[in-house]
Amino acid sequence: MLASYILFFLLFLVFPLGTLIIKSVQDQNGNFIGLKNYLLYLQEPALFQSFFNSLFIAIVSTIIVVILAFSFAYALTRTCIPFKGFFRLIALIPLLSPSILAAIALVYWLGNKGVLKALLFGNSIYGPIGIILASVYWTFPHALMILSTSLSLSDSRLYEAAEVLKTSKLRAFLTITIPGARYGIISTAFVIFTQVFTDFGVPKVIGGNYNMLATDIYKEVVGMQNFQMGAVISLVLLFPSLIAFFIDQYSRKKQISLLTSRSVVFKPKKSFGVDSLMLGYCTFITVIILMMIGMAQFGALVKFWPYDLSFTLKHYQFEVAGLGWESFYNSIRLAFYTAIFGTIIIFIGSYIVEKLKSDERLRGILQLFTLMPMSVPGLVLGLSYIFYFNAKDNPINFIYATMTILVINTIVHFYTVSHLTGVTVLKQMDKEFESVSLSLKIPLYKMFWKVTLPVCLPTIFDISIYLFVNAMTTVSGVIFLYTYNTTLASVSAIHLDEQGDVAAAAAMAMLIVYVSVLVRIIHTVFTKGILRRTQAWRHDTPNAANDVTKA
């Protein structure tokens, strides 16, 4: 079992990345030329500049997102504002759309014909301003999720102790709240940095002439067919993500849980000043998010923004060949297959890593493999797949240019988060279940089926939803891998925009949103309905009766 997972990762992650590295030290004809391509890269100021551009955009966006999301998470977890559920729901909306939707909406609001163009004081939205704003928008919910988790884990006794010692609110915030959330903040910063640094959709749509690494790779590979330079830039893109990843792993190791079983969960107290301030802030963020998604929808439904605002559905007809409804159906197929097969593969994989006895070294290797995808940008993974699977002498060459390769690529791309989700829920299960089964001579697969699977069902559904929505919205992983009969909705939206049909691009992006919302609703209904039966044991209150008196 373990060996087949290692083989899976070798085939679909390690070997492709290896091929990418080899490509970067070869010339057009496949001869080894050492670091010549890298020297070429350094001698090209335009390419080299992109690196600093990407770094600049990623750092600025990260700082803004961490501040905005921390404040929002603080409001949701540490204050008594009303409508918390509503605010949270709205704040997570950007997760449901491809990152380019934010760029399209910004074009409508602040572009050359934008309603609020005056706010830019003459600056153009096409460039760093647009990229940063759109990046902040689409990464906001990711940051919010990590930060609200780390802020919600807090021991109220610490605050009581501080209060008894006559500590000011500000000092308590600086000495208890911030240190408690420190690792969450570090982790968020690295996740957001990597996401923005490696994102392709946003700079493609709203970057204008401002070059970034991700768009450079695309230009080299698709525009100039210069695969070697594409490989070099890919490795330049991979490098900071890897560093960020390792620093994050290191800081996680140093993290000690501040919450013990004796802790008392923090319950916020009412405070008129703070609550009003935070209510205002959350309302402001919510309005902005609704304005963005609302504008994308509006733009998709009017005849000719901003001159003819009458209602029409014609932008949903997608008259450009190959970029229409068939790409939308392909996306749904991709999302569906990814959710089904990905969930099965990933959950069984996390069970193997977490619960089965196996060779410690092999397990260590598999664990490393499961973490690797998080540090590999989608664009890099996609490009490495071209190099590896398109090679004539590769026996599994036949999956190239099929739906299969898209599904596998997407599963690998989003493997880590799903895997860690699985591992977390499995860790909560008693580690002796397997021992008990063995002592009762029940084979482990029976136990897996009868106990592990039913108990983990809610998490398994969460994993499948995560995979589904990401498969719907991803651009960077698949931009190099689709072919004329496997075009995808998110990719189509980019090409529609490229051809100047912004309204159709908005319509396509909104189609993705509808499906994501629909699937979320189905998921919720499913969880509440069918899961009620399998999870009956969860809704019980423990019986505290004294054994001695009862017996």
Partner 1 sequence: MSEKSRHIFLSVENLSKNFGSFRAIQDISIDIEEGEFVCFLGPSGCGKTTLLRCIAGLETQSSGSITQKDVEISLLPPSARDFGIVFQSYALFPNLTVFSNISYGLINHKWGKDKITSRVNELLDMVGLKSHEAKYPGQLSGGEQQRVALARALATSPGLLLLDEPLSALDAKVRIYLRKQIKDLHRKLGITTIMVTHDQEEAQSMADRIFVMKDGKIIQSGSPKEIYEKANSPFIADFIGITNFIDARVLSKNKVACHAFEVECNTEDMSADLPVRLAIRPESIYLNRAASDVDNCVDAIIIENEFLGSFQRIYVESTSLSNELLMIDVANNSLTEMDLTPGSQIHITLPPDQIRVYPFD
**What's the CA angle centered on 232, arms 226 and 237, to 5 degrees?**
120
- DSSP code of residue 32: B
Nearest Cα residue to 188 out of 70, 348, 306, 333: 70
Residue 33: CB minimum distance to partner 1, A: 46
How far, in Å, CA of 476 to CA of 499, rounded? 19
Residue 159: CB minimum distance to partner 1, A: 30
Residue 326: CB minimum distance to partner 1, A: 43
Residue 359: CB minimum distance to partner 1, A: 13
Nearest Cα residue to 388 out of 3, 8, 11: 11
Q: Amino acid identity, residue 418?
A: S
State which H helix or E strand residue 230 sits in: helix 227-254
The residue written with tokens 């409001």 in the block is 75
Residue 263: CB minimum distance to partner 1, A: 19
Residue 356: CB minimum distance to partner 1, A: 13
Distance between first and last Cα of the chain = 47
- CB atoms closer than 10 angstroms to residue 50: 24
- Distances in whole angstroms, Cα of residue 133 to Cα of each of 129, 203, 278, 279: 6, 11, 22, 23
Nearer to partner 1, 267 or 450 (CB): 450
Nearer to partner 1, 260 or 310 (CB): 260
State which H helix or E strand residue 460 sits in: helix 453-473
Nearer to partner 1, 280 or 364 (CB): 364
Nearer to partner 1, 398 or 449 (CB): 449
Residue 424: CB minimum distance to partner 1, A: 16
Residue 455: CB minimum distance to partner 1, A: 5
| Helices 128-152 + 99-110 axis angle, to 10 | 130
How far, in Å, CA of 437 to CA of 444, rounded? 7
State which H helix or E strand residue 125 sits in: none
Residue 445: CB minimum distance to partner 1, A: 13
Nearer to partner 1, 127 or 458 (CB): 458
Residue 458: CB minimum distance to partner 1, A: 12
Nearer to partner 1, 194 or 437 (CB): 437
Residue 510: CB minimum distance to partner 1, A: 40
Q: Which residues contact 255 (CB under 8 A, 6 or more apart)?
A: 183
How far, in Å, CA of 249 to CA of 252, rounded? 5
Residue 253: CB minimum distance to partner 1, A: 19
Under a CB-based contact definition with an 8 Å cutoff, are residues 105 and 293 in contact?
A: yes
Nearer to partner 1, 164 or 536 (CB): 536
Residue 66: CB minimum distance to partner 1, A: 38
Nearer to partner 1, 252 or 538 (CB): 538
Nearest Cα residue to 379 out of 52, 48, 54: 54
As given in the structure block, the two tokens for residue 522 are: 């189905």
As given in the structure block, the two tokens for residue 243 are: 């560093």
How far, in Å, CA of 86 to CA of 79, rounded? 15
Sign of the C-alpha dihedral computed for residues 390, 396, 402 and 403 taken in this order: negative
Q: Which residues contact 160 (CB under 8 A, 6 or more apart)?
A: none
Contacting positions for partner 1 (CB under 8 A): 430, 432-433, 435-443, 450-451, 454-455, 534-538, 540-548, 551
Nearest Cα residue to 498 out of 186, 100, 155: 100
Nearer to partner 1, 129 or 531 (CB): 531
- CB atoms closer than 10 angstroms to residue 6: 15
Nearer to partner 1, 330 or 437 (CB): 437
How far, in Å, CA of 533 to CA of 132, rounded? 46
As given in the structure block, the two tokens for residue 423 are: 């591992």
How far, in Å, CA of 439 to CA of 433, rounded? 10
